[in-house]
Chains A and B, each alone.
Chain A
Amino acid sequence: MSDLLFTNARLIDPEAGEVLGSLEVTRGRISKIVPHGPNDGRVTLSTGKVVDCRGRCLAPGIVDIGVKIGEPGERHKESFRTAGQAAAAGGVTTIVMRADTLPAIDDPETLTFVMNRAHAECAVRVHPLAALTKGRDGREMTEIGFLKDAGAVAFSDGDRVIADPRVMSRALAYATALGALVIGHPQDPGLSRGAAVTSGKFATLKGLPGVSPMAERMGLERDLALVEMTGARYHADQITTAVALPALERARAAGLDVTAGVSIHHLTLNELDVADYRTFFKVKPPLRSEDDRAAMVAAISSGMIDIISSMHTPQDEESKRLPFEEAASGAVALETLLPAALRLVHAGALDLAALFRALALNPAKRLGLEGGRLAIGAPADLVWFDADAPFVLDRFKLHSKSKNTPFDGARMQGRVLATYVGGERVFGGES
């Protein structure tokens, strides 16, 4: 009666830790989990297929908040089809796409268009974010009610900060009444204007305009004050500096409904990686000091930061083949998210269960999605991977339409063997 049985798997359960065992899938959902060794005779399968995981990891698929897909408007950078292929190859089973499309996802019609396209073309699940203000202009709030009914899982203007506190406070208040989650980009817009890197010795040496890490704390403090005022549900998309952490800590201690994320790049790279103006390392907010990077890793491991995201931002070659200040920001990361994150595991900073709390369980919980768990009844969104397999990344082998990864030529460890969405294989092979 089951459809699929994974045997001999290192099961990575974000809630309970890891155990060797078997996992059974029936009608797209996890129907049975049996610890113990392989071939012990307890697990039998009447029908369906058996996948021998050969002692490799089986974990809940990644739920990635904040993926940029170029539809509508910039399909030459990334389409639903290519994003789906990249996600599947990277073990991402749920894409939470950003609203910074052209035009922005700021009305129910655009949202419906996007969901139809995703359904028709994308190999993995897609949940859209919707803009918090019309045209992401920071002036008038969107139809939060309609958009939520149409399927928006949260509301965000992406990396455009709503500068006017009155607009932000009203949007938060309105969203709160509907129980909608608001995702903010904590950054003081005035202080960060025109910045290409983080201020400090490196910025000065390279003659690049820098922004102080303090701009992030100022942005966060403002948003948290408004959250306290309105009682809103709030998620900070990226916390990347040590100076911002105490504000987050205080908000949590005060019982505000606040969570925070960090991009994989801020956990694995630092500002010195920019070296001689390598524009693939230009991201938003800019890469930080090594001290900040280490503080973010510690914050993930302590649970102060809940969620790791790819912040997948495809850019075409032309927009990166420019002087650093003029080049576009962002990096593709759907496919490199897991191997890059495994660097933290190999470095001993996290165990696999903690990693998948940040990659799968926490984002799913925060958005009210079912996935992210290895539990009976949960959707069989799974990634089977070898956490140790070494490889050298070749950017031209990525499935994304855009190849702007900072990991080109990097030695990485950890390969996805297969990815399943609702029990259906969307990437890789079985034995």
Chain B
Amino acid sequence: MGFSARHLLGIEPLSRDDISAILDLADHYAAQNRQPNKHSNVLAGRTQINMFFENSTRTQASFELAGKRLGADVMNMAMQASSIKKGETLIDTALTLNAMHPDLLVVRHPSSGAVNLLADKVNCAVLNAGDGRHEHPTQALLDALTIRRAKGRLHRLTVAICGDIAHSRVARSNILLLGKMENRIRLIGPTTLMPSGIADFGVEVTDDMRSGLKGVDVVMMLRLQKERMDGGFIPSEREYYHRWGLDAQKLALASPDAIVMHPGPMNRGVEIDGTLADDINRSVIQEQVEMGVAVRMAAMDLLTRKLRKGQRS
């Protein structure tokens, strides 16, 4: 327990106890999700609205399934096709949906800080499903749960995060979470894809994959967006794969029991070798997807607890 926040907007405001509370509960839901009957009634009668201002099949499906397994009424809004195109502002959209009395709003938006802005205007709990380059807290939490289950702990590990750090909200949330839990973090990638001031985050930074991977317990690969491969940030796809793509040779430098992670969707042959991604002895990529549902169930359960208590009394 010990989780008192109204919204889940990022990892930044969370304490270690908050993080542990979510992960502990997520473990419980992970077990439940492996049972034939995956359903519970924790959110029965509650309404969850998924507002995705940016395309996402995987994350949206994960949130939808999480809500349904908790018994909530889930509505998906494809915001790109809706009133935004008619000139409605983000705040007006939020107020309109707020008037429908949802209990949970799950929001993804291409602008950093947009979810914070929206959370200020509504009465229900807001979950950030990714805002611009800012944060993607449930991704970092599901990564943390996956690591904790694979490694038996979530502290004093050396974690390499590789690739396009600059444009990645996944990287930011993971750096914050793994830092709070006292892990050693190495960021590996081309200098053009490193954000400014990154050295001040208490991380090691290198552009050399080979020295960077030496002895690490976890290798976290990031997706390289297609539009960044055109010579603007890196010279070419093949040079990128040669220098920063993860293959068996480079992975051999990591600790022998190191696990390989990727938030998906993968570009096989760009940032990660296809065979390696499928290697069930090293890759926990499928497990990440599974933990995603469990972590989102836990987060939604915790965020609505106060509300449910208030209603009962």
Contacts and interface: CB of A to CB of B under 8 A. Distances in A.
Interface of A: 199-210, 212, 276-277, 318, 321-326
Contacts of A322: 89-90, 117
Given A201-B201, A206-B113, A212 B196 contact: yes
Nearest to B131: A207
Given A207-B133, A207-B134, A323 B196 contact: no
B112 A325 contact: yes
A261 B109 CA distance: 38
Interface string B100-123: 000000000101111011000000
Contacts, number: 72
6 contacts: A204-B201, A277-B112, A322-B89, A323-B114, A325-B113, A326-B111
A205 B113 contact: no
Given A201-B201, A205-B172, A322-B89, A210 B113 contact: no
A292 B91 CA distance: 34
B196 A277 contact: no
Contact of B12 (A201, A205, A325): A205
Contact residues on B (Cβ < 8 Å of other chain), bracket: 20 to 34
Contacts of A324: 111-113
A324 B133 CA distance: 12
A205 B179 CA distance: 13
Given A200-B197, A204-B195, A326-B111, 7 more contacts: A201-B198, A202-B197, A204-B172, A207-B135, A323-B113, A323-B114, A324-B113
Contacts of A209: 133
B132 interface: yes
A321 B95 CA distance: 13
Contact of B113 (A199, A200, A276, A321): A276
Nearest to A210: B196
Nearest to A325: B111
A209 B132 CA distance: 10
Contacts of A206: 112-113, 134
Contact of A277 (B89, B90, B117, B197): B117
B172 A323 contact: no
B189 to A, nearest CB: 14
Contact of A204 (B91, B114, B117, B198): B198
Contacts of B133: 207-209
Q: Which are the 3 A-B pairs with shortest beta-carbon distances? A: A207-B134, A277-B113, A323-B111
Contact of B197 (A203, A318, A323): A203
B223 interface: no
B199 to A, nearest CB: 9
B262 interface: no
Given A199-B197, A201-B197, A212-B196, A323 B117 contact: yes
B95 to A, nearest CB: 11
Contacts of A203: 195-197
B227 interface: no
Point out which of B133, B169, B201 has the most chain A C-beta atoms below 10 A from its C-beta. B133
B134 A323 contact: no
Contacts of A325: 111-113, 132
B200 interface: yes
Nearest to A196: B112
Contacts of A326: 111
Contact of A208 (B90, B112, B117): B112
Nearest to B120: A276
Given A199-B197, A276-B116, A323-B111, A207 B91 contact: no
Contacts of A208: 112-113, 132-134
A321 B133 CA distance: 20
Interface in B20-49: none
